[in-house]
Structure 1
Amino acid sequence: MSFVIQPQWWLQVCILGVGATLILDAWWWLLKRMFSVASLDFRLVGRWLGHMPAGRFRHAAIGSTPAVRGELWLGWGFHYVTGIAFAAGFVSIAGEQWLHSPRFLPALVFGVTTVVLPFFIMQPCLGAGVAASKLPSPWRARLKSLVTHSVFGLGLYLSALLHLG
């Protein structure tokens, strides 16, 4: 039995991932404008990625790590590539039929589940500790991450309804 992914599948997954990420970005924009809540600084994500070719994957405090050229664009690019990768993972799990008949609950559950990646990979590597344990307000950061990933799940669903349905 072979598994072949058709080009149409990739196009749908890219639309889904970019759409969900745009919805997440719109959420962050609203939070910033209405409540002065800052979102993730993608310069720091780009800085983290920019130091990887030199073999540096973990930082005591990414904000104190020297800047790298193009870190803002690198961070934003990674943000959208991650959205597409998450969409591909979701559709692989939910099945291609979900694209034609999207349901909210599977998308939300998947979005919430993806919070394990920042909790156990990204935050420790940026110097924030496991699940933001080294930050001044770890529970606030955890809640923010959980809401963010929930909004991404909602974004998967809405993007499917708007673009693929």
Structure 2
Amino acid sequence: MIVTTLLIGLVATALADLWQYGFLRYFDGSRPHWGKVGRWVVGIAREGRVIDAAIGKRPAVRHENALGWAFHYVIGIAYAVIYLAILALPRLPNSALAGAIYGILTLAAPLLFMKPAMGGGICGRNAPDPWASFAKTLSAHLSFGLCLWIATAVLG
């Protein structure tokens, strides 16, 4: 069960990343980049700095992009654990609707915690284009929820 859960989390995250790569290339020509998140993780580990509004002004740290990607996948696995625990409740089948709702619920973490912790404000309102930031985050999390549904249906 542990290996299956890890695999579901990894596969769902990877599939959602492929979706997001295409979405971002079409949306604004960018690519997913997790360097700022890696820098934030290092700031927590080294200095206990959870709230860091100046993260974008801090110098880059060694391997920050790789650290950010690793953190991203750890979170994807953690979300898979929670999703599978919810599905274990009576009368909650794995479905596209369940995955989509779960993906939308996971928006709470970036919109209410990660973005504010890194100076972006609640729901990313301090971003240069808050609506574009929101659309990217929504796309990532909704696709992740749907990819959890798919990975669970295939691997679970």
Q: TM-score, normalised to structure 1's length?
A: 0.84
SS of alignment partner, residue 21 of structure 1: helix
- Asked if residue 60 in structure 1 is aligned to residue 38 in structure 2, the reply is no
Q: CA deviation at 1:129?
A: 0.6
Give, in whole Å, the separation in 2 of the partners of 1:23 and 1:132.
24
Query: 1:148 aligns to what?
Result: 140
**Number of matched pairs:** 155
SS of alignment partner, residue 127 of structure 1: coil
- Where structure 2 has 5 or more consecutive residues not aligned to the other structure, the ranges are none
SS of alignment partner, residue 69 of structure 1: coil
Runs of 4+ in 1 over 6 A off after TM superposition: none
Q: CA deviation at 1:93?
A: 1.3
Q: Map 1:107-126; keep pairs closer than 5 Å.
A: 107-126=99-118
Query: 1:26 aligns to what?
Result: 18
Identity %: 34
Q: Map 1:75-114; keep pairs closer than 5 Å.
A: 75-95=68-88, 102-114=94-106
- Where structure 1 has 5 or more consecutive residues not aligned to the other structure, the ranges are 1-8
User: What amino acid is aligned across from residue 78 of structure 2 in structure 1?
Assistant: A
Q: Check the 8 A contact 1:42/1:76 in 2, yes or no.
A: yes
Q: CA deviation at 1:72?
A: 1.4
Please give the root-mean-square deviation of Cα atoms over the aligned residues, in Å. 2.1
Give, in whole Å, the separation in 2 of the partners of 1:82 and 1:13.
13
Give, in whole Å, the separation in 2 of the partners of 1:108 and 1:41.
24
Give, in whole Å, the separation in 1 of the partners of 2:116 and 2:132.
16
